[in-house]
Amino acid sequence: MSTIKDVARRAGVSLGTASRVLSGSTSTSPESRAKVQTAAAELGYIAHGPARSLRRSRTEVLGLLVSDIRNPFFSELAHAAESEAMKRGYAVLLANADEDEVQADEYLRIFASQRVDGLLLSPQGPVTPRLAALLASRLPVVLLNRSVEGLDAPLYATDNAQGVGLVLDWLERRGHRDVAFVGGPVTISTGAERQAAYLAGREAHGISTDDAFVDAGDFQAEGATAAMIRILDRGVLPTAVFGANGPTTLGVLHGLRERLGAEAASRIEVISFDDLEWFEFASPPITSVRNDAAAIGRLGVRGLIDLIEGREAASARIAMSLVDRSLVDRSSASRPVS
Amino acid sequence: MSTIKDVARRAGVSLGTASRVLSGSTSTSPESRAKVQTAAAELGYIAHGPARSLRRSRTEVLGLLVSDIRNPFFSELAHAAESEAMKRGYAVLLANADEDEVQADEYLRIFASQRVDGLLLSPQGPVTPRLAALLASRLPVVLLNRSVEGLDAPLYATDNAQGVGLVLDWLERRGHRDVAFVGGPVTISTGAERQAAYLAGREAHGISTDDAFVDAGDFQAEGATAAMIRILDRGVLPTAVFGANGPTTLGVLHGLRERLGAEAASRIEVISFDDLEWFEFASPPITSVRNDAAAIGRLGVRGLIDLIEGREAASARIAMSLVDRSLVDRSSASRPVS
DNA sequence: CTGTTAGCGCGTTCAA
DNA sequence: TTGAACGCGCTAACAG
């Protein structure tokens, strides 16, 4: 790989001039500009990022730490974040914490070592010492979707209360009284917020306040299946189930089938926080409130770059929208086919 | 952030000694070793990656270029790749080409600039000049899932012919004769291989060789929907449809519903290349051949690190397995519920 | 506007 | 085993 020295030599100018042309800092004469540019093109010169970073103490790399890129919510978020970052000249280092604090912490070390310019964080748990150290070093950070106590950073997140409100309205409209709720860990802000909003709103929407209908998993499919089964094993039979995120809803379906069989399960309506592309093909189709992951990713990157470049960044709550897939009225849908 | 200089000063040793202890190159006395380590721990010292990279001309960063991280196949692959890379001490820069050659090329520039140690590549199209230049500079590269002409690198990929064989066997077992095939672009090796294997095997498995049943999309849902509709609009009615990748199968379902309605669509069996977690909840359930994306990602990273460290790396084809979800025999399943 | 020079933080060489 | 010095490639400060 050729260096800027090679370019300068070939263009017949000094190293400084070549640098000025290539990074466009101060003005240069049209002639040297042309000479340097053709020389660079001929050599296929590509600036050495690490060297530039060392000198400028900025890497133009962002760190993105999510819990699991396999969760469609995060893969859509990552896609949007990465696309927005590239548009603004930043690359993205990806990290999957797998909902594991230790692993998350290890990634923070790698990010710190790579000297990322900023951090997009969907926190796994409390603020670890290493994260505290990074914050103390004034590394710009924005939070995605989840907040965490003691971390004062702009938050780009779903409007959980509003989304749950849409769910409650829909449940009431559909005439459901016996509704099961499968939540996520209350140690995660999204889990706590969604559960709190649901519990608080149940009564006003004519939904049973029997806590036998309520349980929580780990925001993954397996944990949700177990939670769904626990609910059914308490001897209650819901007419509808509310899953608190995408993987949870998948787990709910598994749990319903496992305990009730496909036939009986198909008489229970399911509504989900997070919309998945296949919900319309389930039977009955699954209604959802759509969580705009792309918007969160995009806004997060913009906010982070604002912070990096010394501007202010304001938190934002992204409103959710109902995707109503209930085609028929319940009285007929809930009767077995005869 | 503290530098190695700070560590040396605090430990009361020279900069060289501190460096030797921290990077463990040559031997050091137990005393200075201890002093340096405690000093580093006290300061929370984290080596400056770019500086280290500049000096050692290795970044310990891998570039991962996929077509779309939102495709579950790639998000699973990315998850496994990234996890394997971390285990071996490498970070991963993520790039989404969005099936766009220009964007892919731009990412190659960023990777080159960041001086990644190696490249995991799922190519979008032909070898661009920039990719050729990177290869000429002897940057280690491995190919994931897709090969490309003129690029001689280890390939970690699905065994397309074997997978299609499983599909053909299943179609024959189920007694399907009128089978629609919705493929992907033949300009992509996976699209070409799957289509070729299917067309070559049709006759021997008792499947109609009428090409009205065959069309191709773009490996995304929308393109596949259009292809499915084109097939139906030719006036043929398949009893089964084979979708050549995950998003394609989703598009197939949309196409069937749009032209035939949910009721008639539910009498058509669908089989998919790539297994998605929701296939069992479709009606009828979707059978698939499972593409082990995690294995491809893991093996790709191992192979790439082998190359980086000067060892040989051999290509591998990953065998697929059938996930048969056909529960009932076709004669009863295809009769409308009465 | 341009050439020269210093130094970013680190690993490694050379002498001791 | 250790300290001193050099240079990786680049940008920025300075002098002209």
Tell if the CB–CB gap between B50 and A50 is shorter than 8 Å. yes
Chain B nearest-CA distance from A46, in A, is: 6
Asked if pLDDT for residue A333 goes beyond 50, the answer is no
The string of pLDDT tens digits covering residues B86-114 is: 999 999 999 999 878 889 999 999 999 99
CATH number at residue A228: 3.40.50.2300
Asked if pLDDT for residue B337 goes beyond 50, the answer is no
B192 domain residue, yes or no: yes
Tell if the CB–CB gap between B70 and A51 is shorter than 8 Å. no
B273 domain residue, yes or no: yes
A66 domain residue, yes or no: no
**What is the rounded distance in angstroms from the CA atom of residue B313 to the CA atom of residue B307?**
6
pTM of the model: 0.94
Nearest nucleotide (C1') to alpha carbon of A19: D11
Give the pLDDT mean for A129-154: 93
Count interface pairs A-B at CB distance under 8 A: 134
* Residue B334: predicted pLDDT: 40
| Tokens read off for A16 | 């400084």
Tell if the CB–CB gap between A113 and B48 is shorter than 8 Å. yes
Cβ–Cβ < 8 Å for B113, A46: yes
* Residue A332: predicted pLDDT: 44
* Nucleic acid strand D: bases within 7 A of protein CB: 1-5, 7-13
Q: Considering only CA atoms, name the residue closest to the C1' of nucleotide D11.
A: A55
Amino acid at A186: V
Cβ–Cβ < 8 Å for B208, B220: no
**What is the rounded distance in angstroms from the CA atom of residue A9 to the CA atom of residue A4?**
9
CA distances, B236 to each of A168, B195, B230, B232, B240 (Å): 45, 19, 10, 6, 12
Residue B315, Cβ density class (10 Å: 0-12 exposed, 13-18 middle, ≥19 buried): middle
| Closest among B28, B145, B44, B249 to A131, alpha carbons compared | B44
Nearest nucleotide (C1') to alpha carbon of A8: C3
Residues 35-64 of B with CB under 7 A from strand D: 54-55, 57
Chain A nearest-CA distance from B280, in A, is: 9
- Name the residue of chain B whose CA is nearest to A336's CA: B337
**Range A83-88 contact pairs with CB under 8 angstroms and sequence separation of 24 or more:** A83/A298, A83/B96, A83/B98, A84/A297, A84/A298, A84/A301, A84/A302, A85/A301, A85/A305, A86/B95, A86/B103, A86/B106, A86/B107, A86/B110, A88/A301, A88/A302, A88/A305
* Residue B329: predicted pLDDT: 60
Looking at B9, B30, B45, the residue that finishes a domain is B45
% of chain B exceeding 90 in pLDDT: 88
Asked if pLDDT for residue A331 goes beyond 70, the answer is no
B173 domain residue, yes or no: yes
Which of A1, A4, A99, A298 is best to mutate for the B interface (most B CBs within 10 A)? A1
**Are B204 and B328 contained in the same domain?**
yes
Reported as a pLDDT band with limits 50, 70 and 90, residue B146 is very high
Residue A63's H or E segment, with its range, is strand A61-66
**Are A177 and A326 contained in the same domain?**
yes
A222 domain residue, yes or no: yes
Residue-number span of the structural domain to which B255 is assigned: 160-291+322-332
Residue A194, Cβ density class (10 Å: 0-12 exposed, 13-18 middle, ≥19 buried): buried
The string of pLDDT tens digits covering residues B220-264 is: 999 999 999 999 999 999 999 999 999 999 999 999 999 999 999
* Residue B327: predicted pLDDT: 74
**Are B182 and B328 contained in the same domain?**
yes
| Closest among A83, A49, A50, A136 to A295, alpha carbons compared | A83
Provide, in whole angstroms, the distance separating residue B198's CA from nucleotide C8's C1'. Answer: 59
Cβ–Cβ < 8 Å for A112, A135: no
Cα-flanking dihedrals φ and ψ of residue B6, to 5°?
-60, -40
Looking at A30, A45, A60, the residue that finishes a domain is A45
The stretches of B150-281 forming alpha helices (DSSP H) are 160-173, 189-201, 221-233, 246-265
A47 touches strand D (CB under 7 A): yes
What residues have CB less than 8 Å from A311, skipping those under 6 apart?
none
Residues in chain B within 8 Å Cβ distance of A107? 86
**Are B36 and B174 contained in the same domain?**
no
| Closest among B97, B144, B142, B78 to A64, alpha carbons compared | B78
Among B51, B69, B337, beta carbon nearest to A75: B69
SS3 state of residue B26: coil
Provide, in whole angstroms, the distance separating residue B14's CA from nucleotide D5's C1'. Answer: 12
CATH number at residue B20: 1.10.260.40
A150 domain residue, yes or no: no
% of chain B exceeding 70 in pLDDT: 96
Residues in chain A within 8 Å Cβ distance of B76? 70
* Residue A125: predicted pLDDT: 82
* Residue A27: predicted pLDDT: 81
The number of folded domains in chain B is 2
Tell if the CB–CB gap between B86 and A337 is shorter than 8 Å. no
A183 domain residue, yes or no: yes
Residues in chain A within 8 Å Cβ distance of B43? none
B130 domain residue, yes or no: no
Average of per-residue pLDDT values in chain A: 94
**What is the rounded distance in angstroms from the CA atom of residue A233 to the CA atom of residue B245?**
38
Provide, in whole angstroms, the distance separating residue B31's CA from nucleotide D1's C1'. Answer: 11
Provide, in whole angstroms, the distance separating residue B9's CA from nucleotide D8's C1'. Answer: 24
Residue B211, Cβ density class (10 Å: 0-12 exposed, 13-18 middle, ≥19 buried): exposed
**What is the rounded distance in angstroms from the CA atom of residue A205 to the CA atom of residue B261?**
35
* Residue B120: predicted pLDDT: 98
SS3 state of residue A62: strand
A57 touches strand D (CB under 7 A): no
